[in-house]
Chain A
């Protein structure tokens, strides 16, 4: 990271800390804001959050590694996440998965070469009665069929 970028990041985190407070419980909202803006929680940001909340970087990393919606490495601009838990599986997750892979041209866990889309599995989205469930960025789609999946993709492409 360049020094300028680092300074920018520090300023941003200072603002977030002021917004949410200096207690340990502010950690999650702060990380969520960073994740939303940068599509990742970079190493440097984790260390700055730790410094400002007076905890250790490894404690921040422990939280980041625990939750699958946080990532340390930059992912694609759009995140396409398919629920992989049992009810969605029974409701036809597999065919949706195949359609997604074919349409985007990558496998699950990969990012397109133009950095536009990352495709991955997630655990239960809480839509068990309306599976298969698909999460695109922050929007949930329920009862997804292979055709519907392709249509959803065309909206973000």
Chain B
């Protein structure tokens, strides 16, 4: 993640940001303060909240979030600063002079209690019928401050209607406490700009442009707001009831595919530390819940690499050899949030999007064709579920063009959180499960498919294959252990150049019908870039529009969520920079432990091309089943 100061936050939302000195040992670089009569020294510009945290004093927060710029609107974190008339919000108070702070005086405790009581008085609903029960920050605060009755009363009727127009995100504004985390997420972190506070005074509420339902505005369904919301005012559209019905129906054959990111995060829902990989345990748990088959989405991630890589080769061949007009750079299309962002904000670049579907949708199409044929099950009776770290996948599987198998390719998108809930409901404690395997005919996938979960992963997987295809060398000989380090990590935008050199290999059989040889790539340099979070995507797009450095790229990976899929809107709450890092470590460690780490070496993908997609990548059949088209939506709302 980039530093918070670089976000396009309105100046009013970052009061008194003081730049911290690069070297605090300079004169005036550190400041002596007193917290609860304990003497400390902190670097200039440290907020009171940070200072307290550093020295082990807990200050309650609500509107504060590590990913977001400061707001100081909820006032729960107030402390007493000696010599100041009023209490100060510790999250928005940078220390610039020696001060004496008291964090637990009668005045502070009373103020905090009143603030919590006031929020509860407007917060509609009861905890036991709430999706965030036991994972709610307001509930936690109420417990911390021993709230045992409503001092200022409690609303008995919801103030607003629930907005469930969207396939992905449900808004229940009666539960909103106006912390504006979703606003800062949507406007500053993601730069999508769906949510803002509307009206004034006691009428203030968080709403969309012209207060329209969420399905009618430019929402990309990334769900980052859900992940930041302290209460259940924002939640995902949960299909688990329908899935239970399908499982309980003996006529239905229910299959599930699991994406790489949920397995690295679902342990958090069961009390395990972040970064505990649960792949094999999850397979067993899913079987015990009642899913008939468990497949690995990484298989079609491998397939995506082959299809998308072939598409890139075709585009480059057309541009360099046939001198035809083609749209370059090619953009990845795995992230449905990013796809919708582009459709709205940069519709003129729609031809740059790879026409390859996302791994989820490829799998959906294959399950109801290839798998149905092979097993002799009527595709009408197959219910296809996808566990994703993502709320936008719910929207994606409902896109009307995703019916290429003749049926709805993927019936339900399920988030990591909702799956954890289903596992709990079935009476299963995930960490205790024995290890299980993925089912045939798709079997195990490669490590390249697995790293799709982290930002830069798609690009790394693609380069591992492209380098082997073109140069004929092993990826391990080009990059140490086939790990492409410049594409890893959480920098907002990553850029890399890969010189092909003057030695080229022979064209693999799978591509023979498309290009005769690789001589046209001799001495060329492949330029790629990676962006995560739509705010960073916007920077690259604006650069391309202006004809800058990124317009010369050949292939760019975009992910809508900060950190890539592992920081998706369907992942366990909370998601912080620290947690994202640990999830990424889990994914990369698992990749390194696998034998097959390149998409084109996945035996199941090779078999798929031999048995089913006989015309090879980007052939007629794969075009019908594995590729799609996009809609120019534009930025105007009627």
Contact = CB atoms under 8 A, between A and B. Distances in A.
A joins B in a complex = yes
Interface in A54-113: 55-59, 61-62, 65-68, 72
Contacts of A66: 198-200
B381 interface: no
Contact of B210 (A24, A43, A67): A43
A56 B196 contact: yes
Interface of A: 24, 43-44, 46-47, 51, 55-59, 61-62, 65-68, 72
Nearest to A57: B209
Given A65-B198, A65-B199, A66-B200, A58 B208 contact: yes
Given A58-B194, A59-B196, A51 B635 contact: yes
B636 A47 contact: yes
B86 interface: no
Nearest to B542: A54
B199 A58 contact: no
7 contacts: A24-B11, A56-B196, A57-B193, A58-B187, A62-B197, A68-B200, A72-B210
Interface of B: 10-11, 187, 192-200, 207-210, 217, 635-637
A27 B209 CA distance: 16
Given A47-B635, A65-B199, A66-B200, A58 B209 contact: yes
Contacts of A47: 209, 635-637
B196 A62 contact: yes
Contacts of B187: 56, 58-59
B196 A58 contact: yes
B585 to A, nearest CB: 35
Contact of B196 (A43, A61, A67): A61
Given A56-B193, A56-B194, A57-B193, 18 more contacts: A24-B10, A24-B11, A46-B209, A47-B636, A47-B637, A56-B209, A58-B187, A58-B193, A58-B196, A58-B207, A58-B208, A59-B187, A59-B196, A61-B196, A61-B210, A62-B196, A62-B198, A65-B198
A61 B637 contact: no
4 closest Cβ contacts across the A-B interface?
A56-B193, A62-B196, A58-B196, A58-B209
A59 B198 contact: no
A59 B209 CA distance: 8
Nearest to B193: A56
Contacts of A65: 198-200
B217 to A, nearest CB: 8
A57 B637 contact: yes
A139 to B, nearest CB: 25
A65 B200 CA distance: 8
A102 to B, nearest CB: 29
Contacts of A56: 187, 192-194, 196, 209
Contacts of A72: 210
B198 A43 contact: no
B15 to A, nearest CB: 16
Nearest to A61: B209
A44 B210 CA distance: 11
Given A43-B637, A47-B637, A59 B193 contact: yes
B341 to A, nearest CB: 13
Contacts of A57: 193, 209, 637
Contacts of A58: 187, 193-196, 207-209, 217
Nearest to B192: A56
Nearest to B187: A56
B214 to A, nearest CB: 12
A62 B187 CA distance: 13
Nearest to B200: A66
B634 to A, nearest CB: 11
Contacts of B209: 46-47, 56-58, 61
A51 B194 CA distance: 14
A72 B212 CA distance: 14
A44 B636 CA distance: 8
A24 B636 CA distance: 20
A56 B11 CA distance: 15
A47 B208 CA distance: 13
Nearest to A43: B210
B198 A61 contact: yes
A51 B218 CA distance: 14
With a 10 A CB-CB cut-off, give which of B199, B207, B636 has the most chain A CB atoms: B636
A64 to B, nearest CB: 9
B185 to A, nearest CB: 13
Contacts of A46: 209
A143 to B, nearest CB: 28
B220 to A, nearest CB: 13
Nearest to A25: B11
B197 to A, nearest CB: 6
A43 B636 CA distance: 10
A72 B198 CA distance: 13
